[in-house]
Amino acid sequence: MARIVMKFGGTSVADIARIRNVARHVKREVDAGHEVAVVVSAMAGKTNELVGWTREASPMHDAREYDAVVASGEQVTAGLLAITLQNMGVHARSWQGWQIPIKTDNAHGAARILDIDGAFLVKRFGEGQVAVIAGFQGIGPDNRIATLGRGGSDTSAVAIAAAVKADRCDIYTDVDGVYTTDPRIEPKARRLAKISFEEMLEMASLGAKVLQVRSVELAMVHRVRTFVRSSFDDPDAPGMGDLLNPPGTLICDEEEIVEQQVVTGIAYAKDEAQISLRRVGDRPGVAAGIFGPLAEANINVDMIVQNISEDGKLTDMTFTVPSGDVDKALAVLDRLKAEIGYDVVQSEAGMSKVSVIGIGMRSHAGVAATAFKALADKAINIRAITTSEIKISILIDGPYTELAVRTLHSVYGLDKQ
């Protein structure tokens, strides 16, 4: 017998037929004798509809009331799944985040989980009950519902798995695992059997949409073995109930991966913009004077490149931001011009960031050189480069994104292993 937390995303519970399919997945684990808790998202499209209603009611709405509205989507799904499970003879009960309680901070709309007392759910396990929990939500210090931001149900599931010391957390979605790159761009992309927490964190933060970044962070901190699985697989197919290695991709400690590849995957993010400040005075505090105000404006700065002039008195500062934040960033920089003392600011949208990721890069030389040569052979110009122990990110012109992804996927042999 094991303790399992199962999470189902919006496409998995899009209508009653799919909710019945989800219930079959849950019943399979219950019939195998496992203790099961389920976390659900709102039905596909429902959150967008609710967000639209709040904006229509008032463009400048109260964040606390926004949370009260958008959290209702998960409440509906949890109730419907509990009813369906009961109809199948499974002892199930739906619960909202505040009933557990999942305690959060006061940042309504983007709250962070502070604490979950697992005792409530452990008591449900002892009663033989399947707890069906509304994801994406908790309760803040002001005693009001607080939502966790987009993809927050993934975070709810991993946090609950950590709180109840689950043997594993299964994230069911519309894909059957984590791939070496986006199969829509590279048909030869392969599903990975295992990927380390660190690699998954990089892939999630660099454009892969399989898991929400915060959920991977939580899984890594609390060492929650997490499987990415497809809810559209037949719940009764052979191997679906395998306790240790069900179908999908296991996200786990690096030590669990015996044969670590040099490069694990290629991620990409479109709609990046490049901003350059020309001829900035090179003196202590300039970088803080630029990036501090940008951070205060909630602008996410990513790649940063600095070129100092030959005489060491001036520098060019180039960095990237999401394309949607360009105007806001330029407005901040314009206000700072007198203080910073730059000559001119230039911006260009339509960039893409392509990243090579792999823990094996720590112990292998020449990985970056291979990428640069492969892109040069395809006449793809590199605008900026950043690196870490397990990642190389390259900024290129947007129209070359798919060619770059396919080229790098091939040059590292990811389509052959």
* The two three-digit tokens of residue 285, written as one number: 């505090």
Asked if 342 contacts 286 with a C-beta cutoff of 8 angstroms, the reply is: no
Is 8 annotated as a binding-site member?
yes
Is 36 annotated as a binding-site member?
no
Query: Rounded CA gap, 241 and 247, in Å?
Result: 9
- Strand 3-8 to 102-104 pairing: unpaired
Is 258 annotated as a binding-site member?
no
| Contacts for 344 with CB less than 8 Å, ≥ 6 apart | 277, 278, 279
Is 118 annotated as a binding-site member?
no
Is 174 annotated as a binding-site member?
yes
Query: Rounded CA gap, 93 and 153, in Å?
Result: 18
Return left, alpha or beta for 269; rule: phi > 0 is left, psi -120 to 50 is alpha, else beta. Answer: beta
Query: Rounded CA gap, 342 and 191, in Å?
Result: 48
Cβ neighbours around 4 below 10 Å, total: 24
Is 209 annotated as a binding-site member?
yes
Using alpha carbons, select from 290, 291, 408 the residue that is nearest to residue 352.
408
Is 10 annotated as a binding-site member?
yes
Is 7 annotated as a binding-site member?
yes
In the annotated binding site for substrate, the residues are 47, 74
In the annotated binding site, the residues are 7-10, 47, 74, 173-174, 179, 184, 209-210
In the annotated binding site for ATP, the residues are 7-10, 173-174, 179, 184, 209-210
